[in-house]
Amino acid sequence: MSIGDLPLRTDENCAVRVRSISVPRWRLRDFHQIPIMKTKLTTVLASLVLLPTISCLAGKGTDLKPILAKPGKVTAEEKFAGPLGKNWTVAKGDWQPREGVLVGREKAEDKHAAVCLLAVPNHDSIIRFSFKFDGSKTFALSYNHAKGHLFRVNLTPTSVAVGLDKDKKDEASKAVSLGKAEAKFEPGQWYTIQVEVKGDKVAVQTDNGVKIEGTNAALNADKTGYRLVTAGESVTIADLKAWEVTP
């Protein structure tokens, strides 16, 4: 008798699969004749069959289903196959496209996190890309508006946080948390993140199970583009794509 693999869905991006085993028919036929062995073997079989292996489908280029907005016109699509286009600006640090990826690292002489701007103005939008930590301990997708910093999605190897930035021109201003979740991003491992903004709402998800949603009136503003920000050595980006949001 053969017990095949039994896939069980746990959510959009994770699967549980029961290990398959094979038991000879003669073993099953004679099984009832050995009461003591039957009990022990039953326990072993139950352990083997019911012990699942869980694997989340994290990786490069994962197609994540939007949870807040419906994608419309594509506004940016980057495979990083050559030099950065005219809508990219390296503000701080070193950002180099290399064989289909973008590698960003901080320069010590800058005394500032590495910043690369993708100038694609937007109000409501969806952006998705893959990333991996290659030495960096923090990485952010940041949004600006006409007055300066607006909000960001900040990632570390153990967390994802979404929050409004402090207004540097207003001493009374404070950063505001819109949500935070524990996470596990292994160094050198690809993951995919998707950020949706619609009106006063933001939704963030990664292909290893992180989901955060937040609401704040300040989000309902025109944004100047997307900023990639990292500190230290280094972060790698791939398969970046952005969309307008369909009303």
Please compute the mean of the pLDDT values over residues 143-168 and round it to a whole number. 95
Whether pTM > 0.85 for this model: the answer is no
- Helical (H) or strand (E) element with 12: none
Give me the mean pLDDT over the 103-111 stretch.
Answer: 96
- Report the pLDDT averaged over residues 105-110: 95
Residue 168 token pair: 């540097």
Nearest to 183 by CA among 145, 131, 224: 131
Confidence label for 56 from pLDDT (cuts 50, 70 and 90): low
Of 202, 207, 153, 156, the C-alpha closest to 182 is: 156
Domain with CATH 2.60.120.560 in the chain: 71-245
Coil/strand/helix, residue 167 = coil
CATH class of 71-245: mainly beta
110-123 pLDDT, tens digit each = 999 999 999 999 99
Measured between alpha carbons, how far is 149 from 221 in angstroms, rounded to an integer? Answer: 12
User: Do the beta carbons of residue 198 and residue 69 sit within 8 Å?
Assistant: yes
On average, the pLDDT of the chain sits at: 83
